[in-house]
Amino acid sequence: MHTTGKVIAFEVDTTRCETKHERLTGAEIKDIAKKPPANTLYLIESRDGHPFGREIGDTEIVHMHENQRFVTEPPIGKTS
């Protein structure tokens, strides 16, 4: 993992999280946020001025930036 000299703050389901890593996988983001591994992770992005949740796979690498927002969803038919 590549680390940066600064702490990067981000949010998962309204919980503030921090990392010093420039890149994290979806699974690592869920682990830091203490979310169940089976949950689906979404990165909240803006599309045409509206929020949009883009699914992030467990092995997908996310380039971390300050104040990024993520949400998780339990598998269909289950609760987290």
Q: What is the pLDDT of residues 32-72, one digit of tens each?
A: 999 999 999 999 998 888 888 999 999 999 999 999 999 99
What CA–CA distance (Å, rounded) separates 76 from 59? 20
Kindly state the tokens that stand for 27: 């699974």
Contact 77/50 with Cβ under 8 angstroms? Answer: no
Query: Does the domain spanning 3-73 belong to CATH 2.40.240.130?
Result: yes
Domain layout of the chain by residue ranges: 3-73
pTM for the predicted model, two decimal places:
0.87
Contact 15/32 with Cβ under 8 angstroms? Answer: no
The angle formed by the CA atoms of residues 80, 77 and 25, to the nearest 5 degrees, is 50
Residue 2 has pLDDT above 90, yes or no: no
